Amino acid sequence: MNSEIRELEPKGLWNKFADLNAVPRPSKKEERVIAFMKDFGKQLGLETIEDKVGNVIIRKPATKGMEDRKAIVMQSHLDMVHQKNNDTKFDFDTQGIEMYVDGDWVRAKGTTLGADNGLGVATIMAILESKDIQHPAIEALFTIDEETGMTGAMGLEGGILNGDILLNLDTEEDDEIGVGCAGGIDVTATRSYKEEETPEFKIGYKITVKGLQGGHSGMDIHKGLGNANKLMNRLLFDGFENFGLRISEIDGGSLRNAIPRESNAIVAIDVIHSDAFELEMKELADTIKTELKTMEPKLVIEVSKSETPKHIMDLGVQEGLTRAIYAACNGVYRMSADIPDLVETSNNIARVLVKEGNITILCLTRSSVESSKLDLANSLRATFELTGCEVEFSGDYPGWTPNMQSPILKVMTKIYKELNNSEPHVAACHAGLECGILGQNYPNMDMISFGPNIKGAHSPDERTQISSVQKYWEFVLEILKNIPKH
C-alpha cells in the first residue's frame, strides 16, 4: 500500500514521508522518532545533536557557490495527532500509518495521515539527503510535542541555533505565506462528586453522538462544525429538564486541539417516562441534524436501552455541570478587527469525562491577542468555578506577531508570483505555530511559514494533495536558491 506512495513525485520527499510514517510518533512518546532522526543524520555524516528536551538538530554545510548566503533554519515538528474512526482497529503506539492514493490525494486508512507535520519533516530530510539541490548552510530543527504543549519549542535554548532565517514548514494551504499565528492556553476544570445508588424504578440508556467531521480546533473553528461535547450536553440538559434524566457516565472527545467527533453517555430515566423520553430524544436529534445538515451530513445520534447503571451523579453537581457546559463558550469568541476574516479568539471544549465520582473538562483557548486570550480563559474559569470546579491554566504559549516588512517575505512573494503567475495569500492563521515561541529566544531571526495543501488535519479525514506537494516542492527549491547574501 505504501509502495504506491513511494512512486509519487517528488520521489525524494515521498520516500522520506513513507519512512517517517512507518515510525510511531504520538505526542509525548517521541523516543522512537527521535532515535530515527538521529540515526538518519549520523548515517549522512552530518553533525547531529539532541538537546535537553529531545529536539533534534542536524547541520548541513552550504553547497558549492552558496557559502556567502545567509544560513537558514528549516523547522518542522516530529509528533503527530493520533485520531481514528471508532470502527478502525489500529494501535498508534505500535503500527505505522497505512497510506493510499485516492486520485490526487494521499489518505490514511481510517486514521490521521500525519501530513501535519510529517510532510515538512520529509521535505527537510529529502534536502539533507540530496546531493544536487542548491542551498545555503542549513540547520534542520525537528521539534517535539508541538501538538500537545509545544514543549520542544519552549525548551529550545537560545544560542543553539545560528541561522538568520527560519522556514517553518507547517502551513496547510499552498497559496499561503504565513506571517503570524495565535497563541494558546489550556484550561482544565476538575471536581469530584458523590455517586448515588440508582433507584430500582429507573431504566438505563446509552446516548451516542458520532459521525461528526471533527478537525483542527484552530484552523477549522470558524466553519460551524458540530462539537460532540456540546451536542451531548444539549441532549442531557433536555432529558433532565423534561424527564429528570440522571447521568452515570460521559466520555466525549479526545485531544485538546481536535474538535470532538464523538461522545457517549450512560444515563438513567424513570421507567414510566421511557416511551416519552425516547420520542423526545428522537425529535431533538432530528432537530439537531436539520440544523447541522450542511456541515455535518453524517451526524448520527443514537439513544438505546442499556443495562441500568449502578450509580448516578449527585443531583446538584449534575445540574451545575450541564449548565456550565451549556454556558461555556465554544467556537469563535471574537474576529480580528485588523486582519480580514481572521479568527482572533476562540475556544474548543475538547474533552468531557465524567466517571466514578470525577469530572474532567479540557479546553484549548486560542488568540492572536494575549489580553483577549486571557479574557476568554477567565470567562471559562468563572463559568466552571460557579459549579464547584477547580480550574487550572497551563501550557500557555505566545502568538507570533506579523512583520509585513520581513525580508524573506519579500523574497518568497516574488518567487511565488514568478512560479504561479498569481499573488500569494500573505496571512496570519488561527493555529498555534512554533514561530512565536522560538522568537522569544531568537528575536532577530526572520521567520516565515508555508506548506502544501493539507485538508482535515487532526481528523481521520486528513489528506494531502499530490499536485500541491509538487507545487510546494518547486517553491522550496527556488527559495533555497534565492536566499539573500550576508
Task: Write the CA distances from 136 to 47, 61, 73, 482, integer angstroms.
Answer: 16, 7, 10, 9
- At 261, phi and psi to the nearest 5? -100, -25
Report the alpha-carbon distance of residue 259 to residue 213 in Å, rounded.
Answer: 8
Report the alpha-carbon distance of residue 191 to residue 361 in Å, rounded.
Answer: 9
Report the alpha-carbon distance of residue 136 to residue 479 in Å, rounded.
Answer: 10
- Pick the closest to residue 455 from 171, 98, 100, 225 (CA basis): 171
Q: Alpha-carbon torsion 114, 76, 262, 298, what sign?
A: negative
Number of neighbouring beta carbons within 10 Å of residue 229: 27
145 is catalytic: no
Report the alpha-carbon distance of residue 441 to residue 426 in Å, rounded.
Answer: 25
164 is catalytic: no
Q: Alpha-carbon torsion 158, 164, 169, 174, what sign?
A: positive
- Pick the closest to residue 246 from 322, 327, 318 (CA basis): 318
For 244-366, where are the alpha helices, taking DSSP H only?
274-291, 315-327
| Catalytic hit among 30, 116, 145, 146 | 146
Q: Are 56 and 77 in contact (CB under 8 A)?
A: no
Report the alpha-carbon distance of residue 390 to residue 381 in Å, rounded.
Answer: 8
Task: Write the CA distances from 96 to 36, 69, 78, 112, integer angstroms.
Answer: 13, 38, 14, 11
Element (H, E) at 394: strand 390-397
- Pick the closest to residue 17 from 471, 452, 460 (CA basis): 452
Conformation bin of residue 347: beta by default, left when phi > 0, alpha when psi is -120 to 50: beta
85-118 as b/e, with b when 16 or more CB fall inside 10 Å? Answer: beeeebebeeebbbbeeeeebbbbebbbbbbbbb
Q: Alpha-carbon torsion 323, 326, 328, 333, what sign?
A: negative
Please state whether beta strands 165-168 and 72-77 pair in parallel, antiparallel, or not at all (unpaired): parallel
Q: Are 232 and 353 in contact (CB under 8 A)?
A: no
Q: What is the DSSP letter of 481?
A: H
Residues marked as catalytic = 79, 146
